[in-house]
């Protein structure tokens, strides 16, 4: 699969396996290569420091090193505690789960019957020959799990082992099988027909719907709508995945501009999610008369934000002509950067006011894009 970071962006990023915090949860955004990740935020830095502190305090009680402690269920509980301290009470976790040996394991056992859906799984077709794929398993064996086997044979990625690892070795109850298109089709993992054939055979064997299937489509590639029509009428996928495949002939500055436009879509979602979270957290500082009042207050916020996620994406596409209007695109790049960077005093918070990020909607109102 390609990545979409420019050389300049790659210079300012580092691979997660060497640069990321070695804890139970990521403490900054890790990009899959399709977008430029945000720098670590102040809150994420606090979580990271707090996890380190908790590990130092609690690892000796478990008779473990800090690193080993953080790899246990108790270490995971410590990470949830740290996030609750920084972001508010989001996760249901008790201090005993992190502090007392055995408590987190008991909780994990009690929850082991939970329904688990894995919504992105892959295997490769029987005649797949690209040995470059073996690098993934070799890397995983060297860096993550020395017990991995079969890292030098493509069988590891094929149907039989997929069934074993997804449905026998793990707790997954239902999986969604996907595919991925490549410029060089000898790299294609599975065709849409092969995905659906696998779904049919697994579900027949299981006697229930254990495997769901994607159909993959590639907008703007020759004949792509015909492929969509055929999938609808004959394959009947459970869901779809669209992959943005750029023509090889696209001039690099246009490619960069279009990618910047796509980055804007990601950024708008990230900003709205941030603003929504901050508004909900501000409720904690308020006093309410009746028990139902805070529930109503949360509902009101959700009702306000719900339609915004789509309407602001539409507005962005409309104003920038899907990124083709260079001037308007530059303007939006600036607005988005402003919403990421600017602080203001929040009127929402009672008690000592402190500056918070300026909501995206306020930036758009300032600029008279929204009224
Ligand atoms: Zn767009």
Q: For the ranges 2-11, 14-23, 191-200, 353-362, which has the lowest average pLDDT?
A: 2-11
Q: Where are the domains of the chain?
A: 7-110, 117-242, 252-366
Q: 20 C-alpha to center of ligand 1: Å?
A: 31
Check residue 257 and give its pLDDT: 78
Q: 258 C-alpha to center of ligand 1: Å?
A: 9
> What is the mean pLDDT of the segment spanning 296-319?
93
Q: 332 C-alpha to center of ligand 1: Å?
A: 12
> What is the mean pLDDT of the segment spanning 282-295?
86
Of 280, 278, 290, the C-alpha closest to 358 is 278
> Is pLDDT of 230 > 80?
yes
* Neighbouring C-beta atoms of residue 164, cutoff 10 Å: 11
Check residue 252 and give its pLDDT: 60
Check residue 61 and give its pLDDT: 93
CA distances from 138 to 32, 151, 155, 166 (A): 19, 5, 14, 20
Q: How far apart are CA 167 and CA 333, in angstroms?
A: 45
Q: 260 C-alpha to center of ligand 1: Å?
A: 10
> Under the phi-then-psi rule, with left for phi > 0, alpha for psi from -120 to 50, and beta for the rest, what region is 17?
alpha
Average pLDDT, the chain: 88
Check residue 14 and give its pLDDT: 86
Cα angle at 32 between 30 and 36, to 5 degrees? 70
- 3 state DSSP class of 259: helix
Please tell me which residue, 282 or 60, carries the higher pLDDT value.
60
Please tell me which residue, 235 or 111, carries the higher pLDDT value.
235
CA distances from 195 to 36, 135, 356 (A): 31, 24, 47
Q: 261 C-alpha to center of ligand 1: Å?
A: 6
> What is the mean pLDDT of the segment spanning 215-228?
86
Q: 242 C-alpha to center of ligand 1: Å?
A: 14
% of the chain with per-residue pLDDT over 70: 93
Q: How far apart are CA 76 and CA 25, in angstroms?
A: 8
Axis-axis angle for helices 73-87, 103-110 (nearest 10): 90
Q: For the ranges 72-76, 259-263, 315-319, which has the lowest average pLDDT?
A: 259-263
Q: 129 C-alpha to center of ligand 1: Å?
A: 36
Q: 256 C-alpha to center of ligand 1: Å?
A: 14
Contact 133, 124 (CB under 8 A): yes
Check residue 113 and give its pLDDT: 82
Check residue 360 and give its pLDDT: 94
Q: How far apart are CA 264 and CA 23, in angstroms?
A: 30
Environment class of 154 (CB within 10 Å of its CB; exposed 0-12, middle 13-18, buried 19+): middle
Check residue 144 and give its pLDDT: 83
Cross-strand pairs, 240: 215
Check residue 180 and give its pLDDT: 83
Q: What is the pTM of this model?
A: 0.54
Q: How far apart are CA 146 and CA 110, in angstroms?
A: 29
Check residue 349 and give its pLDDT: 47
Q: 180 C-alpha to center of ligand 1: Å?
A: 22
Check residue 323 and give its pLDDT: 87
Contact residues for 299 (Cβ-Cβ < 8 A; gap 6+)? none
> What is the mean pLDDT of the segment spanning 250-257?
66
Q: 251 C-alpha to center of ligand 1: Å?
A: 19
Range picked from 1-5, 28-32, 193-197, 354-358 for highest mean pLDDT: 193-197
> Is pLDDT of 350 > 50?
no
Q: 223 C-alpha to center of ligand 1: Å?
A: 21
Contact 21, 27 (CB under 8 A): yes
- 3 state DSSP class of 264: helix
> What is the mean pLDDT of the segment spanning 105-124?
89
| DSSP letters for 272-292 | HHHHHHHHHHHGGGS--SSTH
């Amino acid at each position: 699969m390609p990545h979409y970071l420019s050389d300049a962006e790659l210079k300012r990023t580092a691979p997660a396996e060497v640069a990321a915090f070695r804890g139970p949860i990521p403490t900054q955004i890790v990009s899959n290569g399709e977008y430029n990740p945000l720098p670590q935020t102040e809150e994420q830095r606090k979580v990271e420091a707090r996890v380190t502190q908790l590990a130092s305090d609690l690892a000796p009680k478990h008779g473990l090193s800090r690193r080993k402690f953080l790899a246990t269920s108790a270490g995971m509980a410590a990470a949830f505690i740290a996030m609750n301290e920084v972001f508010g009470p989001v996760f249901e976790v008790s201090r005993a789960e992190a502090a007392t040996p055995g408590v987190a394991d008991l909780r994990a056992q009690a929850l082991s019957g939970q329904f688990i859906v894995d919504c992105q799984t892959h295997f490769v077709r029987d005649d797949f020959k690209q040995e470059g794929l073996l690098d993934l398993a070799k890397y995983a064996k060297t860096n993550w799990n020395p017990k991995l086997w079969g890292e030098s044979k493509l069988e590891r990625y094929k149907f039989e082992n997929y069934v074993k690892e997804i449905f026998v070795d793990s707790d997954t109850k239902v999986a969604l099988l996907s595919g991925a298109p490549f410029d060089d089709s000898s790299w294609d993992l599975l065709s849409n027909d092969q995905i659906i054939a696998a779904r049919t055979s697994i579900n027949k064997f299981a006697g229930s719907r254990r495997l769901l299937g994607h159909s993959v489509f590639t907008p703007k590639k020759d004949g792509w709508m015909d492929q969509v029509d055929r999938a609808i009428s004959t394959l009947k996928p459970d869901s779809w995945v669209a992959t943005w495949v750029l023509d090889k002939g696209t001039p690099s500055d246009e490619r960069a501009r279009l990618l910047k436009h796509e980055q804007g879509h990601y950024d708008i979602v990230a900003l709205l999610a941030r603003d929504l979270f901050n508004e909900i957290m501000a409720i904690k500082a308020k006093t309410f008369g009746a028990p139902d009042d805070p529930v109503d207050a949360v509902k009101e916020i959700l009702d306000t934000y719900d339609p915004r996620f789509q309407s602001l994406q539409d507005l962005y596409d409309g104003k920038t002509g899907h990124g083709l209007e260079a001037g308007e695109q530059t303007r939006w790049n600036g607005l988005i950067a402003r919403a990421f960077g600017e602080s203001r005093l929040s009127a929402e918070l009672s008690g000592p006011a402190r500056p918070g990020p300026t909501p995206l909607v306020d930036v758009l109102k300032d600029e008279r894009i929204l009224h």
